[in-house]
Structure 1
Amino acid sequence: MAITRITIENFKGIADRVEVDLKPITVLFGANSAGKSTLLQAMLYLRELLERRNADADQLQASGSSIDLGGFQQLVHGHDKEGREVKIGVTVEVSDDGLPVIPVMDYRSDLADVNARSLIDNGLPGIKTVTVEVTVGWDFNEKRPLIRKYSVSLNGQDFVELIAESSQQAYLHHCRPTHRLLQSAFAEGGSNPYESTEIQLLYRYLERKCLIANKPEGFLLFKVPINSRSAIPNWQQPLLPAEETIDIRASAWDDEAKDAYKDYAWSQFILSHLAVGAGQAVLDELKKVCYIGPLRAIPKRNFSSLRSPREDRWADGMAAWDKLYHSATIPDGNGLVLATSEWLSDRLDLGYSLLSRKSYEVDEDSLALLTLERLSETAIDEDIEERLKAVLSEIYSSPLRASLSLYDARTGSTVAPCDIGVGVSQVIPVVVGSMVGDGNTICIEQPELHLHPAVQSRLGDLFIHSAITEDNKRFILESHSEHLMLRLLRRIRETTEEGEADVDYLGAVKPEHISVYYVNAGEHKTEMIPLRISEDGDFLDRWPNGFFEERESELF
């Protein structure tokens, strides 16, 4: 699965609804404080809503103290908490495995044939994309933000909407029983969708449970209680509450009970699978977003990596050093250290290679040292073999410590990570995160920070290699670097002319692999302006406000 689109409304500087289509590499350009990081923060906030139902978030799970939204009043556009609602949505491309199947109930064998059982066990086929959007507004009664709405679209068509009028109970508010996906699964040929048994059962259940008085027949708005106090459903749980009025004991299994049970059973399966399963799929992808902030920390001398990984350590880059040190301690591991070194020294041409060293910590009064001292004083000793085995045993049982250093090919010197130039220290978490970041989507703010323009260009190859050629990762890059952009365009042009990029470790790069947005801060709102790329590696749209035209004005 992969996140392919983000929609944002009334979040921070963004007022009017914006839609950003994500490609394997998405680059956000714009002036300082234009709102480029808003898209990244919106994704992390949506995860906070889905996972913890925290509408008043300040610090976020994936970013720790690196991002502080300040709560709802600060993050809602214009600080207008009482007049605006924040809306954030994410579209996910569904894999061949489909959506998660939510365990609902034990269907009686006389209610489902073999084909129906297959659907119940494996889920509905034909789900290509799901979109989940969450709306947060101000609760005037409780004087705090409330998650008001959770909506799901399937294959681009609205399906269901859950609402909460308070924090006490949530309801199914809208549902499309004749959704194209359900027609494909249940309605044969071009028959009337309502002639499908399963669609009839769903519609009949919603009508029977609807709390709206005098609702016109066929009207797609309902008010049906769900198994959640929040508009966000409970993950891995059925959407509908237990049907306590249905007695399915054999002695009471009459036609009326059987019909009511069929209505409930099929509705529970369809709604749970599509409403809860869609949200679970989106949340799973949001959990795979790895955020690397604009200021990466440098490990101190005698740095020791954490034994228990924390995802928020990616925000300041320290998770990258955790992984490097862990790689250095694994027997016959070290692959990550070697791969990082190759990028630093050869492909980015920074002039540094990364080295690792392992050592045992042996106490000065240990048996190992005392024995070695004794052996050094004894020319002949019958027990030397056994005593040496004891020495080695104690050494091998001592703590093993890894250390990393960087070799400067220009000076022939070796330095600790805390002693290298700031540009190298800033790019190492970018390199490691691009290869082994904890997730499918890697979000990086200012990957080019403190780097020479030539190295900024070569960073483009790093992202192409990881996103398109090798690892199928996706990148969202917030950048100011013209050089990075020019490298991406160059690789597209080379592919058009030669069939692939002009280096042996990159494959073909096409316009559909790259998405570029110019973030423009207007007088009262932020715009996300897409810039199309041709197969010749040129922009089809003009850059707004003369962006990247400073060079021309300086030269001429």
Structure 2
Amino acid sequence: MLEGEMAFTTITAITIENFKTISKPVRIELAPITLLFGSNSAGKSTIIQALHYMREVLEHGNLDADNSSWAGEYLDFGGFKSLVNGHDLNKSIRIRVDFLCAPTFFKVYPAFPFPGIDGDQIEVCDIRTEYWDSWLTFCYFFEIEVSWNFKSSSPCLSRVSSGLFDEKIADIVRASSPVHVEGVQPSFDEFLKYVNFDHEVFCSCGDSFLQELVAGLLPDDFLAGKSDVGIPASLCCSPPTLWADNLAFDPEFVEKLMRDRSEVEQADALRKILKFESYLSQLIKGPADILLEALQGMAYVGPIRKTPERHFAPRKTSDPARWATGLAAWDKLFLADQEFIDELNRWLAEPERLGAGYKVEARRFREIDSSHEIWSLLDSSGEADLASIMKTIQKDTPEKKELSLLDLRRNCNVLPHDIGIGISQMMPVLIAALDKKVGVAVIEQPELHIHPGLQCRLADLFILSALGSACSQSPGPDYGHTQFLLETHSEHLLLRLLRRIRETTDGTLPDWHCGLKPENLSINFIDFQNGKHSVRRLQVSEDGDSSGNWPEGFFEERAEELF
């Protein structure tokens, strides 16, 4: 990785339209730490569920999702009819995700081989190395539109759009009924409707190399961005909700382009079409795959976490849906190495961290059945036989592991099932924040059942996990790996974040802290009034105070109680 490159894909914005209670487009700007505030039923969870749905579409092609593979039965979608705003099947769900990533995340795809072209001889073109090799960060967006197909009585992916640097690159649309393209049988109902040939990624010295590549091959109205229909092309296989490996033109359309050309001209034209396909696959399918990888690296911790049973057995196979109930966190803890447990204990025990008064202890042991022959050997053996007895124990009895929590105030060990509800609810939040495999932690009510002091100190956990390795006072390599999207009602959490911004500006941070800047924090107030949603990003000054107009009623209860 080059110096200055990003280690993870970072989601920078989500735009939602006609999804559940959100009708008009709503855009939420994200930062390393993003807070979603608002009254109950204002739509905070809807924003999180939009990410769940995007993953279902990208990973499983599940447009009619009844639940989420990311949250299991914990989240009941109810299918497209329940998800579309107002249950109005004439509306289309639109979800757009903007994200940043390094060039090393870039995807390269071969073109789809046509008849007469040997697939092994197709040149794989990398538009990045050929034209953008000096760029350190890509700012993509990927957008889907899901509509109801009345003919098939099922939802369909009616449009896919991609863009770079906030400027659209291409649109692929699905026709609601067969579209006639002159000289071509209507075998495809998907069309490459638009390509922005003037986008900076295609232009060098003012000329579009992509447009020049297919000039004289593709229709002039399409090249000029004025085509009413587009070019028959698909990103999907049959059935249409499954993603293909690349963009592919309709073979009959390509065959039409080859008519009245010599054999040499046909070979040259086909190679140009294949190169065009490969470039567009990188810029349409590529962002979809990068976004999916980011979504697959998310951990969703729901608002009510389960406590492991007294004889809890961890799942050895990863199941992301278990994060929703918090049990995946306990799976992680039971299987974790000592280094992870030591870092967890630093946060649990040290007063300047969480100071929760507990430490995790892992006890390893072997159980021997009372009828095992080893007992008779122990009764009859001398000291010389102890080595062979130990070998027998190791051979016949697998090692087991038991986790307990040492209560530092009472100096006694308790099982996870026996600790207070606040600590048990906080543990999945803590483990998700420290897990280096988690790229984005989406947590509802991280403050659940914990006292105000712990709520404040959770803010420090989020700061260091999100920004630690990016700061000059980095506490170590284990930090700076996670982006946080937090749905919360905690004033204490917010106040600690604002305090750390002020201390970063003043230079009064604790020695162990990496600090926080206003651009690292996105505070969003979601409101629903008169049937309309609104999202306001609340501005923060460098001294940690509110900047601009914060919405009326934001934590007004505090002011009313004090004055």
When the two structures are superposed, what TM-score results if normalisation uses the length of structure 2?
0.86
Q: Hey, what's the Cα distance between the residues in 2 that align with 1:554 and 1:517?
A: 24
Corresponding position of 1:142: 152
Q: Label 1:266 to 1:66 Cα distance change in 2 as closer, same or farther (>3 A).
A: same
5+ residue gaps, structure 1, are 108-115, 209-213, 328-332, 376-380
Deviation at 1:57, TM superposition (A): 0.9
| 1:259-310 alpha-carbon deviations (Å, 9 max, x no partner) | 3223312211211111111211121112122111011110011111111111
Q: Hey, what's the Cα distance between the residues in 2 that align with 1:129 and 1:216?
A: 25
Q: Label 1:66 to 1:123 Cα distance change in 2 as closer, same or farther (>3 A).
A: farther
Deviation at 1:119, TM superposition (A): 3.6
Q: Hey, what's the Cα distance between the residues in 2 that align with 1:290 and 1:215?
A: 42
- Give, as a single letter, the amino acid of the residue that structure 1 aligns with 2:465: S
| 1:221-258 alpha-carbon deviations (Å, 9 max, x no partner) | 5422224357777343343355874999xxx9843213
- Note if contact 1:56-1:72 (Cα within 8 Å) is conserved in structure 2: yes
Percent of paired sites with the same residue: 35
Deviation at 1:508, TM superposition (A): 2.6
2:544 to 537, 543, 548: 537
Corresponding position of 1:42: 50
Q: Label 1:206 to 1:435 Cα distance change in 2 as closer, same or farther (>3 A).
A: farther
2:189 to 169, 178, 181: 169
Q: How many residues align?
A: 516
Corresponding position of 2:6: none
- Give, as a single letter, the amino acid of the residue that structure 2 aligns with 1:268: E
- Give, as a single letter, the amino acid of the residue that structure 2 aligns with 1:423: G
Q: Hey, what's the Cα distance between the residues in 1 that align with 2:242 and 2:230?
A: 15
Deviation at 1:205, TM superposition (A): 3.9
- Note if contact 1:288-1:438 (Cα within 8 Å) is conserved in structure 2: yes
Q: Label 1:284 to 1:36 Cα distance change in 2 as closer, same or farther (>3 A).
A: same
- Note if contact 1:151-1:161 (Cα within 8 Å) is conserved in structure 2: yes
- Note if contact 1:175-1:220 (Cα within 8 Å) is conserved in structure 2: no
- Give, as a single letter, the amino acid of the residue that structure 1 aligns with 2:402: S
Deviation at 1:342, TM superposition (A): 1.7
- Provide the alpha-carbon RMSD of the alignment: 2.6
| 1:525-554 alpha-carbon deviations (Å, 9 max, x no partner) | 222111011000011134323121212212
Q: Hey, what's the Cα distance between the residues in 2 that align with 1:45 and 1:484?
A: 28
- Note if contact 1:3-1:90 (Cα within 8 Å) is conserved in structure 2: yes
1:5 to 5, 8, 13: 13
Q: Kindly indicate whether residue 366 of structure 2 is the aligned counterpart of residue 360 of structure 1.
A: yes
Corresponding position of 1:111: none
Deviation at 1:443, TM superposition (A): 0.3
- Note if contact 2:362-2:402 (Cα within 8 Å) is conserved in structure 1: yes
Deviation at 1:104, TM superposition (A): 2.4
Q: Hey, what's the Cα distance between the residues in 2 that align with 1:144 and 1:246?
A: 32
Q: Hey, what's the Cα distance between the residues in 1 that align with 2:128 and 2:540?
A: 44
Q: Hey, what's the Cα distance between the residues in 2 that align with 1:130 and 1:281?
A: 10
For residues 413-432 of structure 1, what are the structure 2 equivalents within 5 Å?
413-432=412-431
When structure 1 is superposed on structure 2, of 221-230 and 466-475 the one drifting more is 221-230
- Note if contact 2:441-2:483 (Cα within 8 Å) is conserved in structure 1: yes
| 1:379-436 alpha-carbon deviations (Å, 9 max, x no partner) | xx5xx53x32331122223121111111222222221110111000000000000010
When structure 1 is superposed on structure 2, of 464-473 and 158-167 the one drifting more is 158-167
When structure 1 is superposed on structure 2, of 541-550 and 474-483 the one drifting more is 541-550
- SS of 2:386's partner is helix
Q: Hey, what's the Cα distance between the residues in 1 that align with 2:198 and 2:362?
A: 61
- Give, as a single letter, the amino acid of the residue that structure 2 aligns with 1:371: L
Q: Hey, what's the Cα distance between the residues in 2 that align with 1:215 and 1:356?
A: 65
Q: Hey, what's the Cα distance between the residues in 2 that align with 1:218 and 1:292?
A: 45
Corresponding position of 1:281: 290
Corresponding position of 1:55: 63
- SS of 1:149's partner is strand
For residues 305-384 of structure 1, what are the structure 2 equivalents within 5 Å?
305-327=314-336, 333-346=337-350, 347-375=353-381, 381=382
- Give, as a single letter, the amino acid of the residue that structure 2 aligns with 1:388: L
Q: Hey, what's the Cα distance between the residues in 2 that align with 1:118 and 1:171?
A: 23
For residues 335-484 of structure 1, what are the structure 2 equivalents within 5 Å?
335-346=339-350, 347-375=353-381, 381=382, 385=384, 387-397=385-395, 398-436=397-435, 438-469=437-468, 470-484=479-493
- Note if contact 2:306-2:325 (Cα within 8 Å) is conserved in structure 1: yes
2:213 to 195, 201, 206: 201
1:180 to 192, 200, 205: 200
Q: Hey, what's the Cα distance between the residues in 1 that align with 2:195 and 2:371?
A: 75
5+ residue gaps, structure 2, are 1-8, 115-122, 178-187, 469-478
- SS of 1:226's partner is strand
Q: Label 1:44 to 1:203 Cα distance change in 2 as closer, same or farther (>3 A).
A: farther
When the two structures are superposed, what TM-score results if normalisation uses the length of structure 1?
0.87
Q: Hey, what's the Cα distance between the residues in 2 that align with 1:354 and 1:218?
A: 62
- Give, as a single letter, the amino acid of the residue that structure 2 aligns with 1:150: V
| 1:54-85 alpha-carbon deviations (Å, 9 max, x no partner) | 111121011111111111121111222x2321
- Give, as a single letter, the amino acid of the residue that structure 1 aligns with 2:196: R
Corresponding position of 1:128: 138
| 1:209-228 alpha-carbon deviations (Å, 9 max, x no partner) | xxxxx989652554222243
- Note if contact 1:174-1:221 (Cα within 8 Å) is conserved in structure 2: no
- SS of 1:411's partner is coil
Corresponding position of 1:510: 517
Q: Label 1:216 to 1:480 Cα distance change in 2 as closer, same or farther (>3 A).
A: closer
2:246 to 218, 237, 249: 237
- Note if contact 1:12-1:38 (Cα within 8 Å) is conserved in structure 2: yes
Deviation at 1:505, TM superposition (A): 2.6
- SS of 1:237's partner is strand
Q: Hey, what's the Cα distance between the residues in 1 that align with 2:280 and 2:10?
A: 23
Q: Hey, what's the Cα distance between the residues in 2 that align with 1:17 and 1:215?
A: 28
Corresponding position of 2:23: 15
- SS of 2:531's partner is coil
Q: Kindly indicate whether residue 554 of structure 2 is the aligned counterpart of residue 554 of structure 1.
A: no
Q: Label 1:150 to 1:550 Cα distance change in 2 as closer, same or farther (>3 A).
A: same
